[in-house]
Chains A and B, each alone.
Chain A
């Protein structure tokens, strides 16, 4: 039976398509009322996991219960569908219906629909209520998608990459909305390939790679566990200056070069020592900044690969 705290329990979940194993034995739990994030690059199995949880796909092996209901039972799955919300990746609702009509359309599929004006107000969509969906900006479309995911007053909401393709400002808007719903007691399960997202909103994050769980914990726990202090980032004004800086510094400490940036762990060498070495050799630099480690650094430490390979 389900413990009082856990609303989702996943045990040894496996999923294969032919000979391709996309989920290779995952076990974790999601607590009631938390924002839980699955962080991994494209193709790591995030969408496959969410599709299994919302009943779009069946697990090849393993046990899953949501709010005490076993997802393998068709009758219990029917009950699960009444109490969950879901926003698929790249979801577009009916183009020729207005925002309000779309929300009502999806809401009436359930017996416990939230009042339309209430949800329009939560998502700041009142002014666009009578605008057809096709005339909205991508950011507003995403907000309508969120309204639809929450329209049945669900206990758990599954959001598959809800901020994909949005600019930083729109992302923050979406995060604010998610946090607003979370404060009302909703459990949010979110997938992302953006390391900033779980740091910004998640209570706990599970890092997955090639269908395997790499680690799980709060963002701070993971960063503390796997990152080695702050990073020093040096930007050079010219290619020549950058090469000179690399030559001077690489004898003193290990460094990483990413595009026009030289990245050094501050555990290896202090900022003051770096500045002294560069000044002594008369190497020019345009900027030197220190940066706290992110979940992306954790991901690199755990997998040896960057989250976003672009």
Chain B
């Protein structure tokens, strides 16, 4: 009987100990969450009172999308000019001018005056492309004789080359019509992917990732270095806060800011006819990957960098080659083979391409491949960053 009651008592003690341990663990988690929340609150106050932080998180992504949208998003206000000097004034020449004039995006400017030296006049008027229809051109065409049109072009102008292609296309169509034959073969365009994306659609992931990489790198570097130099980091290490709580707090804030920057980019991209239906929920995960990757790189660099000048140099050295060579802005297929290979060393390449594949609803294997590589890079840099963080003097 006594043995039994002893056993019951021991069991009771064990249960109590277990309960106490559980209670203590819950209390510890509660305290830890309280400290993280407090730090996130402190960081947010600091952030929104700092003009440079506002610039990087709000102004910078807007500038970037407005700039690159205007440069590359040709879906709006795409209009080319063609000067036409008609010396013939025949039915045929008028028909050709009408055909050209009916093309969308091409504005014809007919030269009414008499021009003696056409070359000089073009240079004086700053014209990049001019189509001259010579005298008797219409007559020769009607007699089925070969007849040439003259195009004056400024070879340094990119738009002039596009207009030339349009003119050539119209001329060859006219030729086929005159011969009265049916084309023997034709080209049918088939999109590889389910979603049809315009250039601006494929540009948005690149701009989002450039923004995230810059924000995460610049702000992490300057924030971490400032805390290190001011003694805040030292002081924090002597409080109940631990290194992981500090890093998690910063990371939560970084993710919030980068998501905000991503949303702003998408919002302003709508001006340039960005197709919002191509957005995918997993793009948020890519934003988290991007933030982790570049915060991790920043944590590693803070171990080495000791002054604010170093922050600027390191940021430029890391971001500029990536922006130019990762394919975030300029399509990789326009690069020489060597540069295409080099692009694969940049984390930005995998993050941008991965996000593009998501938007394109691309083949599953490719989508997963980029997702896994991006996740590995993010986790890798972040973990190395945690170990590299100099929380205490000896560490």
Q: Which residues of A contact B (CB under 8 A)?
A: 51, 54-58, 78, 81-82, 84, 86-97, 101, 105-106, 108-111, 132, 148, 152
**B-side interface residues toward A, CB under 8 Å?**
31, 34-35, 38-39, 41-42, 45-46, 49-50, 230-232, 234-241, 392-394
When C-beta atoms are compared, the residue in chain B nearest to A60 turns out to be B394
Chain A residues near B237 (CB-CB < 8 A): 55-56
Contact flag A110-B239 (CB < 8 Å), given A56-B234, A96-B50: yes
Q: Are A92 and B393 in contact (CB under 8 A)?
A: no
User: Which of A78, A82, A91, A94 has the most chain B CB atoms inside 10 A of its CB?
Assistant: A94
A101 CA to B38 CA, complexed, in Å: 11
Distance between Cα atoms of A12 and B394 in the complex (Å)? 20
Q: Is the CB of B238 within 8 A of A56?
A: yes
In the complex, the answer to whether A56 meets B393 with C-beta atoms within 8 Å is yes
Question: Which listed residue, B41, B234, B240, B393, touches A81 by the CB 8 Å rule?
Answer: B240
CA–CA, A190 to B302, complex, Å? 30
Our pick among B45, B238, B392 for the contact of A97 (Cβ within 8 Å) is: B45
Give the nearest-CB partner of B239 in chain A.
A109
Cβ contact within 8 Å between B235 and A57: no
Q: If the complex has contacts A57-B393, A97-B46, are A90 and B231 also in contact, measured as CB distance less than 8 A?
A: yes
Residue of A nearest to B235 (CB): A88
- Determine whether the beta carbon of B394 is less than 8 Å from that of A57: yes
Please name 19 further chain A to chain B contacts, defined as beta carbons within 8 Å, in addition to the given A93-B230, A96-B46, sorted by A numbering. A55-B392, A56-B392, A87-B235, A88-B235, A90-B231, A91-B230, A91-B234, A92-B230, A92-B232, A96-B49, A96-B50, A105-B39, A108-B35, A108-B38, A109-B38, A110-B239, A111-B31, A148-B235, A152-B239
| B35 contact set on A, CB distance < 8 A | 108-109
Cα separation A110 to B240 with both chains bound (whole Å): 7
Contact A91 B231 (CB under 8 A): yes
The 8 closest A-B pairs by CB, nearest first: A108-B38, A96-B49, A91-B231, A92-B230, A88-B231, A57-B393, A109-B239, A86-B238
- B52 to nearest A CB, angstroms? 11
Are A58 and B394 interface neighbours, CB within 8 A? yes
Distance A101 CA – B31 CA, assembled complex (angstroms): 19
Given A56-B392, A56-B393, A108-B34, residue A89 in contact with residue B238 (CB < 8 A): no
Listed by A's residue number, 20 A-B pairs whose Cβ atoms lie within 8 Å are A56-B234, A56-B238, A56-B393, A81-B240, A84-B238, A86-B238, A89-B231, A91-B231, A92-B231, A93-B232, A94-B46, A96-B50, A97-B45, A105-B42, A106-B235, A106-B239, A109-B239, A109-B241, A110-B239, A111-B240
CB distance from B235 to the nearest CB of A (A): 6
- With both chains docked as a complex, state the minimum distance between the C-beta of A4 and any C-beta of chain B, in angstroms: 26
Closest chain B residue, CB of each to CB of A79: B240
Partner of A109, one of B50, B240, B394: B240
